[in-house]
Structure 1
Amino acid sequence: MLPLQQEISVDPQEYVPAIIDAAVTVVLFVVAFAVIYLLGKYFLTRTVETGLRQRGFDETLINLTVSLTVVFTAIVSVALAATVAGFGVVLSAFAVMGGALALAVGFAAQDVISNFVAGVFIIQDEPFTIGDWIEWDGNSGVVRDVQLRVTKLETFDNELVTVPNSDLASAAVVNNVANDKRRVSVGFGIGYDDDITQAREAIVSEGANVDGVLDTPEPAAPVTELGDSAVVLSGRIWINPTESSYGAVRAEFLEAVKERFDAEGIDMPYNNTELSGNIGVTNTDELEGEREVPEPSA
């Protein structure tokens, strides 16, 4: 009869070499990673930061690039340390899995990546900065914050608008306050019988008296159109958009010229259509005869 249990002998000495090899591998990996990462981070980040600053890049973009450099250094350090420690098989499997994951994330985050890249170009090229009044695709607003993915703007109705950076990067953006001078143009229509010189003097005089209007270039009011009902003079004044509000100056200009025209009797006609010719009525007797109703027969 065989015994139900047999004594199993375990010799701890058999596992000592494997444990020592594993410990040496782990220590080698940690030391190699620490050395490569610290040296790479020190030299790469300093090189990248110094190069970008010398070329005058924006501070936000510099900080972002330095952060990405640190992440890149860490990934490369893991790969090199694994190679030094002898993790070749694990490293190969990790590379295949990482490539597949990167491909899947890339397809899923196309819009995010597009907005991110557009944000980098907006920050670097500076087509607008915080506080600028811009217009794009029929929209307008004042820039309140420029981020790497979106730009936040405030409308004149005090509404917050968040716009993806890719939309602004691909659109024709008008920066209304980029230059130190901007023209305010308003069309004033006068009657064909009114004196153009008198109207021009009134527009130029009132425009020069509006607060915030620059002396150079001088206000002007050339005739720009001969309309169906009016002769149109374009009142033109210049302002510094960073010091004066375009909307406020335009409104004050309009009101001042309207009151001046009323005081001097200069007509500002509405759109109207004049019909000319004659209308005649003939054969009135026949028309009256047709309207007579015959008497009923007995």
Structure 2
Amino acid sequence: MCGSRWYPDAVSVLAPFEELIRAYLSLLDNVATFLLTFALVYAVGRFILRPLLGLLLDYRGTERTLREGLESAASFGVIAGALVIGLSLAGLNFILERAAILVAGFTVALGFAAQNVVGNLVSGVFIVTDSTFNIGDWIRWNEQEGVIEDIRFRSTRVRTFDNEVISVPNSELTANAVTNAVFNERLRLTVPVQVNFDDDLDTVVRILADAAAENPDVLERPEPVVRITELGETVEVVASLWIADPDRITYGRVRSEYAREIVDRLEEAGIDLGQANPQALEGEIGVVPKSTADDGGTGFRR
């Protein structure tokens, strides 16, 4: 009788363990199905869809900035798609449902706690999709300038001409005026010179115009223009030149070569740059005794 009583008790005790083992085995099967599905979907997206997207963007001649943004979004989409498909096929939909609630709550909290970050992300989307704002462009903003090295959804990396790298928040670029110096096919550069009033201005204008016309990097159309722009202690004459396919290196080189050329030609013509004419004082300075002073004690007599 003891044996007959022990056997039902043993079965009743082992039954929960068997159910637990079956539950773990089912979970392991689901996890294995998820991992296999995730790996397959990710491999298809990474090694088939991404290259096809790259070929399509190459065919359409998409700008590098927009291309990198689309490729980054595609990479994120491949991972997200692999997660969703893997969890669905593995029967783990409840994770997606709970994850959706968590993501919604996290998004609300993030919106309040990180408004600047969200603002930079939104600004990054506008910058990436802006065809006038591309990697490799020379830009100026807030009295700073440099060449765009990388555009991300939070910040833009700019290399200055001192070889420093600045990570500029995207919201700063979208909230301020940004000058793209190389967006168009031509760029105007100006070179001011200051001469004296008694110099031959016709000769100055001719020298500046001839030096521009003889420079192979200066365009004939639009034609170089030389004008007198200011009259102060000296006369300011400004030459305006146009160059093609501009970049920061070409701009600096052409401006420097032109400036050196006009300095040499002006010196040969006997024209000194920016030297004010000396003015003589007439009269005599001396000391006058108080008894004979009739000039208010200034000590100045003619």
Q: Is contact 1:33–1:80 with CA below 8 Å preserved after alignment?
A: no
Name the counterpart of 2:234. 230
- Return the TM-score normalized by structure 2: 0.67
Deviations 1:173-211 (A, max 9, x none): 111111221111122222223332221101111222335
Identify if the C-alpha distance between structure 1 residues 21 and 262 changes in structure 2 by more than 3 Å, giving closer, same or farther.
closer
Match 1:196 to one of 171, 191, 201 = 201
Q: How does 1:1-298 map to 2 (within 5 A)?
A: 9-12=9-12, 58-73=66-81, 95-225=100-230, 227-240=231-244, 241-242=246-247, 245-270=250-275, 286-287=291-292
Whole-angstrom CA distance in 1 between matches of 2:214 and 2:181: 23
Question: Following the alignment from structure 2 to structure 1, what is the Cα–Cα distance between the partners of residues 248 and 145?
Answer: 19
Range 260-269 or range 22-31, more displaced: 22-31
- The change in CA–CA distance for 1:131 and 1:17 in structure 2 (over 3 A counts) is closer
Partner of 1:131: helix, strand, or coil? coil
Deviation at 1:61, TM superposition (A): 2.8
Cα deviation, residue 11, structure 1: 3.6
- Residue 222 of structure 1 aligns to a residue whose secondary structure is strand
| CA spacing shift, 1:11–1:128, aligned 2, 3 Å | same
Q: What is the root-mean-square deviation in Å for CA atoms of aligned residues?
A: 4.7
Find the aligned partners of 2:290 and 2:72 in 1 and give their Cα distance: 96
User: What percent identity do the matched residue pairs reach?
Assistant: 29
Relative to 1, partners in 2 of residues 1:217 and 1:288: Cα closer, same or farther, differing over 3 Å? closer
Distance 2:274 2:72 in 1: 60
Q: What is the rounded CA distance, in whole Å, between the counterparts of 2:15 and 2:228 in structure 1? A: 104
> In structure 2, what is the Cα distance between the partners aligned to 1:209 and 1:31?
74
- What's the CA shift for 1:10? 4.3
TM-score between the two structures when normalised by the length of structure 1: 0.68
Q: For each residue in 1:160-185, what CA deviation from the matched residue of structure 2 results, as whole angstroms up to 9, or x when unmatched?
A: 22222222232221111112211111
- How has the CA–CA distance of structure 1 residues 26 and 273 changed in structure 2, closer, same or farther, with 3 Å as cutoff? same
Is the deviation greater in 237-246 or in 171-180?
237-246
Counterpart of 2:141 in structure 1: which amino acid?
A: W
Letter in structure 2 aligned against 1:60: E
Q: For 2:217, what is the secondary structure of its paired residue?
A: coil
Structure 1 unmatched ranges of 5 or more: 1-5, 292-298
Aligned residues: 278
Which whole-Å CA distance do the structure 2 matches of 1:285 and 1:169 have between them?
A: 72
Q: How far 1:65 moved relative to its partner?
A: 3.1
Q: What SS does the corresponding residue of 1:217 show, helix, strand or coil?
A: coil
- Cα deviation code 1:82-106 (max 9, x no counterpart): 9x88x77x87665544433333344
Q: Distance in 2 between matches of 1:104 and 1:233?
A: 60
- Asked if 2 retains the 8 angstrom alpha-carbon contact of 1:119 and 1:165, the reply is yes
Give the whole-Å Cα distance in 1 for the aligned partners of 2:98 and 2:248: 62
Does the 8 Å contact 1:208/1:237 carry over to 2?
Answer: no
- The one-letter code sitting in structure 1 at the alignment partner of 2:260 is E
Matched-pair contact (CA < 8 Å) for 1:219–1:238:
yes
